[in-house]
Chains A and B, each alone.
Chain A
Amino acid sequence: MAYKIIASQCTGCSACEFECPNAAIRMKGDIFVIDPNKCTECEGQFDSPQCAAVCPVPKTCVPA
């Protein structure tokens, strides 16, 4: 159970990395990737996954 980032959509703005409560997001090249082992989909932490809530591009942070 984890989220992923659609690489072609990512603008590299880093908002998801900033908001992720699990430090599961890091930069890889010009874009960001989610470590599925660390991602909890923010369950028990927030109402909705923070990366998807803050991402400026629709349908970019999605369930893996």
Chain B
Amino acid sequence: MAQLIPLGSLGAPTSAETMREALSGGGCSSSSCGSSDGAGDLPPELWDRIKDHPCYSEEAHHYFARMHVAVAPACNIQCNYCNRKYDCANESRPGVVSEKLTPEQALGKVIAVANEVPQFSVLGIAGPGDSAYDWRKTKATFELVSRVIPDVKLCLSSNGLALPDHVDEIAGMNIDHVTLTINMVDPEVGTKIYPWIFHRGKRWTGLDAAKILHERQMESLDLLKARDILVKVNSVMIPGINDEHLIEVNKVVKGKGAFLHNIMPLISDPAHGTHFGLTGQRGPTAMELKALQDRLEDGTKLMRHCRQCRADAVGLLGEDRGQEFNLDLRPEEVVYDPSQRETYREIVAVERGEHVAVRKAASAEVSGLQAGASVLVAVATRGGGRINQHFGHATEFQVYEASAKGVAFIGHRKVEQYCEGGWGEDATLDGVIAALEGVTVVLCAKIGDCPKDSLTAAGIEATDEHAYDWIEAGIAAWYAARYAPAEQLLTA
């Protein structure tokens, strides 16, 4: 199971001290670092609204957890990348879910998770299905949960087709974050993504369907903006269909006030039985995705830490503890205990302050070197913002770019865990190396000689010299050692 912060140690009889230790991931030595979207780049009012939301704030995703409950399974459109018949617990991608919950069951699950996972801060309803179309169940769930846990952040995700019908209720319920999936602003492009929609008692196909969907999506953006509800836009990047077009989408959604634009790679596999899977439509490579994101950098703020989690995901981004909470809990049997979450929040406030300072210093250090080199650094981390995971235990690497602009988080690469039960598989290692395309160095808490040699042979450096450092501090230290002019190193 993927783990970021070792949640086991945050379980039942937890003291503030153990939480603190768990967070720092074993103890740290050096300091200095810096990354993309901290408080500095955003208006203070906006930062305050998103700072504890792991899906919106890159910095928060190190500390806070989200939970999705699948209560709204009905959908009003068909997408070529979705097949509602496919559902497997081993799959991790949007729209896939193993259990469908009633609003009452969802309340029981939320309370159980809030009691066990102190990082819990956000409850989202994101499918399968469309939360705004299946609105009665979405609304009932939010009402039940916010009565018991008033400080929970609520968010929902929608294709926008039905959203204009409920926007006033959404605003009235204190849902201040909405995600819209917008894959096109040109209905001609839309015809290649959406075979049909269901609207006002009728199934629409072809250009008519795409036109209606587009108009309703634009209307949703305007209505949400007018009510001061934060909007993130998700777009699925489909090579050859909308990859170039997403530059236009970015311009339009930015113009309509979306504060974040998240470009996600198409996930396509014949085994999923989706239209795109069956027609052999491929998804983009990690480098193609990065190239597009780089071109959009001056547009609406891009979100690069999205993990495309399952619709019933629980936990920090990148991990999913959903399967641990599949108990059929009835709300009357579970009592909410806010103490764990409160203690955790106090500790995080202190820890984050240090992290933010360290990130700034690291970015300044790297850009100050004026080395001119722009390199990608992959980091193995269990969360808490530190280099604190064994190379062989990583199921994903966080990728940062160190350049004259400083240190910036740019994305993550999922891999198969290389080391299981003490043994490393060569075939798995080949996959890891392929996934690290373009990366110059891997920073981790520990790495064996054998994988290290294989990485070296593939032209990728790997080191555990910066183990347990803050991520950005470790990157800055590595970068300085590699690129600083000799005289600067001597005087340092």
Q: How many residue-residue contacts, CB under 8 A, span A and B?
A: 48
Taking the closest CB of chain A, its distance from the CB of B114, in whole angstroms, is 27
Query: Nearest 3 CB-CB pairs, A to B?
Result: A15-B74, A53-B203, A56-B84
Shortest CB-to-CB span from B166 to chain A, Å, is 14
* Contact flag A18-B74 (CB < 8 Å), given A11-B84, A56-B84, A57-B84: yes
Given contacts A48-B203, A54-B198, contact A14 B134 (CB under 8 A): yes
C-alpha spacing A19/B136, complex, angstroms: 13
A12-B100, A14-B73, A14-B74 known; A48 vs B202 contact (CB < 8 Å): yes
Within the assembled complex, what's the spacing in Å between the Cα atoms of A63 and B203? 18
Task: Tally chain B residues at the interface, Cβ within 8 Å.
Answer: 16
Q: A12-B100, A13-B129, A14-B134 are in contact. Are A53 and B198 (CB under 8 A)?
A: yes
A13 B198 Cβ-Cβ under 8 A:
no
A interface list, Cβ under 8 A from B: 9, 11-15, 17-19, 46-48, 50, 53-54, 56-57
What's the nearest-Cβ distance from chain A to residue B87, in Å? 8
Which residues of the partner chain A approach B84 to less than 8 Å between Cβ atoms? Answer: 11, 13, 56-57
From residue 55 to 94 of chain B, which have CB atoms closer than 8 A to chain A?
Answer: 73-76, 78, 84-85
Is B422 among interface residues, defined by CB-CB distance under 8 A? Answer: no
Q: Taking beta carbons and an 8 Å cutoff, which residues of B are in contact with A?
A: 73-76, 78, 84-85, 100, 128-129, 133-134, 198, 201-203
**Known: A18-B134, A56-B84, A57-B84. Is A13-B73 also a contact (CB below 8 A)?**
yes
Decide if A56 touches B75 in the complex (CB within 8 Å).
Answer: yes
A12-B100, A53-B202 known; 12 other A-B pairs, CB under 8 Å?
A13-B75, A13-B128, A14-B73, A15-B74, A15-B76, A17-B74, A18-B134, A19-B198, A46-B201, A48-B203, A53-B203, A54-B74
Chain A residues positioned under 8 Å from B203 (CB to CB): 48, 53-54
Q: Is the interface of B mostly helix, strand, loop or mixed?
A: loop
Q: A48 CA to B202 CA in the complex, in Å?
A: 8
**A13 lies within 8 A of B74 (CB):** yes
**A56-B84, A57-B84, A57-B85 given; A15·B75 CB < 8 A:** yes
What are some 14 contacts across the A-B interface (CB < 8 A)?
A9-B85, A11-B84, A13-B74, A13-B84, A13-B129, A15-B73, A15-B74, A15-B75, A15-B134, A19-B201, A48-B203, A50-B201, A54-B198, A54-B203
Query: Judging by beta carbons under 8 Å apart, are B202 and A46 in contact?
Result: yes
Which residues of B are found within 8 Å of A15, using beta-carbon distances?
A: 73-76, 129, 133-134, 198
Q: Which residue of A lies closest to B82 (CB)?
A: A56
Give CA–CA (A15, B129) in the complex, Å: 9
List A contacts of B73 (CB < 8 A): 11-15
Q: How far is the CA of A54 from the CA of B128 in the complex (A)?
A: 15
Interface pair A47/B74, CB less than 8 Å apart = no
Q: How far is the CA of A50 from the CA of B74 in the complex (A)?
A: 13
Chain B residues lying within 8 Å of A19, measured Cβ to Cβ, are 198, 201
**Residues of the B chain whose Cβ atoms lie less than 8 Å from the Cβ of A53:** 198, 201-203
Q: Which residues of A contact B133 (CB under 8 A)?
A: 15
B88 to chain A, nearest CB (A): 13
Give the residue of B78, B85, B201 whose beta carbon is less than 8 angstroms from that of A11: B85
- Report A-chain residues with C-beta under 8 Å of the C-beta of B129: 13, 15
Q: Which residues of A contact B74 (CB under 8 A)?
A: 13-15, 17-18, 54
